[in-house]
Amino acid sequence: MEKLNPEELWSLEKYAQCRSEFRQEVLNHKQARRLSIGPNVSLLFEDRITIRYQVQEMLRVERIFEPQGIVEELAAYNPLIPDGMNWKATMLIQFDDVEERRIALRNMVGIEQRVWVRVEDFPPVYAIADEDLERSTEEKTSAVHFLRFELDSDMRQAMARGASLSAGIQHSAYQHTIPTVSSDIISSLCADLSF
């Protein structure tokens, strides 16, 4: 999947005009790219559309319009676009209660290394987490992590043939499995792969 370039982005003025419509388009798109694993963790699988939205929002919020600033934002976000051999996801750990969240994040240290996907009967593929910077300490983990799942050629070919997909987290403080990922998510994720 190609990376975004500055020419694909709207100016701040143009984005202000089409933001509402684009936002709704992205929200609809994300429905088939969000996978909840248990009650408190979800994965949002990123692609060019989700990352374009993130970049446009950052440019808007930070009022960035200089070419160098735009290039810097793209350099920060482009690595989150899958390259045809992997899936990339933002992992969100969510608890409504602040105290419950504090305790959970302390107990979930290392959870980002224990997230997996499994194509049919192939071995599970565990996430490679937070390649840009470390988001956990010995005392607690972050509520947001960036994950990459590398799929070999056989796994990608199996996905092209309609293989099933399962996912889960196997951590001492949080263990949940999705035995069968829904067909709409699988279809969306297959668009990220080169076969």
Same domain, 56 and 39: no
Same domain, 52 and 42: no
Same domain, 72 and 104: no
CA dihedral 28, 31, 34, 36 (to 10 degrees): 140
Q: What pLDDT was estimated at residue 42?
A: 98
Q: What is the number of structural domains in the chain?
A: 2
pLDDT tens digits, one per residue of 145-168? 999 999 999 999 999 999 999 999
Given a contact cutoff of 8 angstroms between Cβ atoms, the answer to whether 117 and 124 are in contact is yes
Same domain, 107 and 153: yes
Range of the domain at 13: 1-31+48-81
Tokens representing 90 are 């933002």
With tokens 């997909």, the residue in question is 165
Domain of 170: which CATH number?
Answer: 2.60.40
pLDDT level of residue 132 (50, 70, 90 thresholds): confident
Same domain, 154 and 65: no
Same domain, 97 and 52: no
pLDDT of residue 97 exceeding 90: yes
Same domain, 70 and 3: yes
CA-to-CA distance for 24 and 97, rounded, in angstroms? 28
Q: Is residue 175 classed as helix, strand or coil in its secondary structure?
A: strand
Predicted model pTM? 0.91
pLDDT tens digits, one per residue of 9-59? 999 999 999 999 999 999 999 999 999 999 999 999 999 999 999 999 999
Q: What pLDDT was estimated at residue 195?
A: 82
CA-to-CA distance for 112 and 143, rounded, in angstroms? 10
Same domain, 27 and 121: no
Q: Is residue 43 classed as helix, strand or coil in its secondary structure?
A: strand
Given a contact cutoff of 8 angstroms between Cβ atoms, the answer to whether 40 and 93 are in contact is yes
